[in-house]
Structure 1
Amino acid sequence: MNRNYASSLISYGIVVLFTLGLSSGLKAQNFEKLKDFFTIYPNKKAVERDSTLYLSKFIAAPVVSYSPETNFAFGTGAKFLFKFNGSGEETRVSNMPITLQYTLNSQFFLYSGFEIFTNQEKWVIEGNILFQNYPRLYYGLGTNSPESAEEEYNYYQLLVEPIFLKQAFARYLFIGAGVRYNHIYKTEIEQGGLIDQERLTGFDGSTSLGAEAAVLYDSRNNVLNAQNGWYLEFTRGEYFKALGGTHNFDLTRFDLRHFVKPFDNNDDVLAFQFVGRFTRGGLPFSEFSFLGGSEIMRGYREGRYVDRDLLASQVEYRKTFKNSRWGAVAFAGAGDVYNHVENFQFKNIKPSYGAGLRFMIDKEERLNLRFDAGFGRGSNEFYLSIAEAF
């Protein structure tokens, strides 16, 4: 799922202690002790009696993360990794993160982006829950908005988006539906500024409430850090005033990913992603497409370019080092926003490229702490977070 609503900000773990420990050459056994200090195993006794059960993990710790949109963020976070009783190797690990943070930019947010597999993956339940006060920068609409137009606006947001998908026709194919509620309120803009002059519909707040149909194909071997497989999610949402919203519009999204190991003698991974977001009708300002962030188009601040539609792609090479928790990545991408995707022009495509370091904090789940440096056209940004960008 395309989680543009702050998923790029999610991080958990005792980053400061990890960094200090790494820099001082923390031994492997001491690192495991440090990790276990912040980990609770809810079904540990049951696993001791029945070794076929998955050992669930509830990781709770102080949080330190960084992205250009937030500056440094501090708080508490938790991540629940589990399987339902009766699930074996055929069922992938369910992932429920919860993060509460306050940032140096005077922001706060509470977020959970969950992906739950029932027994034998008969059902997938996924979605987002977000509550935040999130100041954002705005430069105007369109692919040619100037840097000099920068201004800040503030708002509160409550987003709830659960989607229920049932396995159908094939092992990794799921079909389902859900609802999406996106409420923007207590907006603050610069008097006489660009937003005040343009006064786009919904600039002073909006409520989007609609029903979504969804199709998911997910054959990834690991949800947190895939080494092989395909991922394709397509959602189509219809939003109406009759349901309690403030605007009538529709929203179409897709997210296509592929992961492959190019060499047999190591665990390196080549990863591809292609995403699209298309809107039609009288949508409010909050539902426009925002380019940039720490997931795709790294190097651009989220929302540096804004318009109704978006297309973006990226490729990433993930290098691992034998007998080490360390890794490195190199990535490149391209994308742009459009008033209508039919206005696509190659000359306007924005480049994105960069590199990063990885440190594996959980070998069993292949969960990485990541640091990325991204570069775009006339911009560069740095990201500190947990798990891969996609």
Structure 2
Amino acid sequence: MLLLSLHAVAQDSVAVDVVDVFRKLILKKNTPAPIVNNKGSFAILPSVGYTPSTGFEFGADISGSEYLGNPESTSLSIFDAYGVLSTNELALIQLSHNIYTARNQYNLVGNWNLGKTVIQDDGIGTGQKNPLTLPLRYTFLKLSEMVYKSILDNFYAGAGLTFNYYKKITQESPAAGQPGVYNELYSQQNGFDTDENIAGGFLLNMQYNSRDQPYRPYKGLYIDVILRTNTHWMGSQKSAMQLKTELRKYWSLSKRNPEHVLAYWIWGSYLLRGQLPYMELPGTGSDTEQRTGRGYTIARFKGPSFFYNELEYRFPISANKLFSGVAFFNLQTASNQQKTKLFQYWEPGAGAGLRILFNKQSRSNLCIDYGIGKNGSKGVFVGLNEVF
């Protein structure tokens, strides 16, 4: 009934979002709010989410978007403040920004995170048939700031700083006769503290970005290559060098309706030298928004080096664009410090999801996905904006 009533609000060519639903059902205004392409937007929204890792999440999200130059030559800048509590011991405050100055001369990207959580830890590497799962609790502070300078059209070079601090790391002991605690074993073997991890260092970045929009692109290419060096004088307990790579490619499959999109995502982190603390090992959910690996819990697979890729088909459902859907398939692999090499074992995941358009100007939406993995792994994943 709701879908039918929304179709009556506007013609097929007019997009309808949650704001329009509110105007129609609460304010009794029949005309959808128009799309204004040359102005920004601001919204304060309650946030409700769910993942197998965090449980149900309840919080608030303050988001804004603005063109800091001519929209024809300047990308949309995004600002976000997010706070959440969950039923599975997560408490998080997150501040983030992705700012483009006029004519995209500079791009400033930052993420600040403060919180505490618990994850289900299954050890290091891929290819384990029946790992022992142990809860791992910790508090954390994560700071990252990067500045990119435009070099050529859509091409940027830059640098930044990162500092990650983990405290009160505790892991429940396994049952009698089982192997030791993952965090303690790894930390003792590699000379790290078992209850505190610190990693700080420098970032050198190269980026290419031709996406038509940051929240929900219909076309374009995004490539980000980062060389990260952890140093003692930036607080790191051990020195290390990592190469981090990310690629996102979008193909619009229909000129008549560009919302038919095929999207591909690669995310990788490779240890070139040195050692990483246990809490810094890249793995499932290690991307900034913790969205990789639908079908598995956060940190289900991890290791000194990690590679992830995903293919997703996005398609409209309702003619007024309020509802759309996705189908996805992903693969991930990780090394360990023993016999398992990167790309030796692959862990698949797959699923489908529903999208509800929150704001037609920024294309922000609510994502509800159901994913499955190997060995009975499955779950519902709810979040704001597209996974990638």
TM-score, structure 1 normalization:
0.84
Structure 1 CA distance, aligned partners of 2:236 and 2:355? 42
> Pick from 266, 270, 294: which aligns with 1:274?
266
**Helix, strand or coil at the partner of 2:19:** helix
1:323 aligns with 2:323: no
Structure 2 CA distance, aligned partners of 1:34 and 1:266? 22
> Pick from 169, 172, 175: which aligns with 1:190?
172
Change (3 A) 1:36 1:60: farther
- Number of residue equivalences: 353
CA contact 1:136–1:152 (8 Å) conserved in 2: yes
> Pick from 74, 77, 81: which aligns with 2:58?
74
1:99 aligns with 2:82: yes
Could you tell which deviates more after superposition, 285-294 or 363-372?
285-294
Q: Which runs of 5+ in 2 are unaligned?
A: 10-15, 25-35, 175-179
Aligned to 1:159: 142
Could you tell which deviates more after superposition, 191-200 or 365-374?
191-200
Amino acid at match of 2:278: F
CA contact 2:82–2:94 (8 Å) conserved in 1: yes
1:250 aligns with 2:216: no
Percent sequence identity over matched residues? 23
**Helix, strand or coil at the partner of 1:55:** coil
Deviation, 1:333, is 1.4
Structure 2 CA distance, aligned partners of 1:336 and 1:182? 24
Change (3 A) 1:22 1:237: farther
Amino acid at match of 1:212: L
Aligned to 2:204: 213
> Pick from 82, 88, 96: which aligns with 1:113?
96
> Pick from 49, 63, 67: which aligns with 1:83?
67
**Helix, strand or coil at the partner of 1:134:** strand
Amino acid at match of 1:210: G
CA contact 2:333–2:343 (8 Å) conserved in 1: no
Amino acid at match of 1:64: V
Change (3 A) 1:323 1:191: closer
Aligned to 1:5: none
Structure 1 CA distance, aligned partners of 2:112 and 2:51? 20
Q: Deviations over 1:214-265 (max 9, x none)?
A: 0110000000000010000011111111233222111221101110112223
1:355 aligns with 2:352: yes
Could you tell which deviates more after superposition, 322-331 or 125-134?
322-331
Aligned to 1:32: 19
Change (3 A) 1:276 1:31: closer
**Helix, strand or coil at the partner of 1:120:** helix
Deviation, 1:287, is 1.2
CA contact 2:349–2:372 (8 Å) conserved in 1: yes
**Helix, strand or coil at the partner of 1:305:** coil
Change (3 A) 1:124 1:342: farther
Aligned to 2:302: 306
Deviation, 1:275, is 1.5
Aligned to 1:297: 293
TM-score, structure 2 normalization:
0.84
Q: Deviations over 1:110-134 (max 9, x none)?
A: 1123211111110000121100101
1:381 aligns with 2:373: no
**Helix, strand or coil at the partner of 1:307:** coil
Aligned to 2:156: 174
Deviation, 1:58, is 2.0
> Pick from 213, 226, 232: which aligns with 1:222?
213
CA contact 1:56–1:81 (8 Å) conserved in 2: yes
Structure 1 CA distance, aligned partners of 2:315 and 2:183? 47
Change (3 A) 1:196 1:231: closer
CA RMSD in angstroms comes to 2.6
Could you tell which deviates more after superposition, 25-34 or 117-126?
25-34
Deviation, 1:22, is 5.2
Structure 2 CA distance, aligned partners of 1:317 and 1:53? 26
Aligned to 2:40: 56
Structure 1 CA distance, aligned partners of 2:333 and 2:60? 35
Structure 1 CA distance, aligned partners of 2:330 and 2:336? 21
**Helix, strand or coil at the partner of 2:302:** strand
CA contact 2:305–2:342 (8 Å) conserved in 1: no
Q: Deviations over 1:181-233 (max 9, x none)?
A: 00111222224652365152343211111011001100000000000100000
Amino acid at match of 2:99: I
Change (3 A) 1:229 1:54: same
CA contact 1:292–1:300 (8 Å) conserved in 2: no
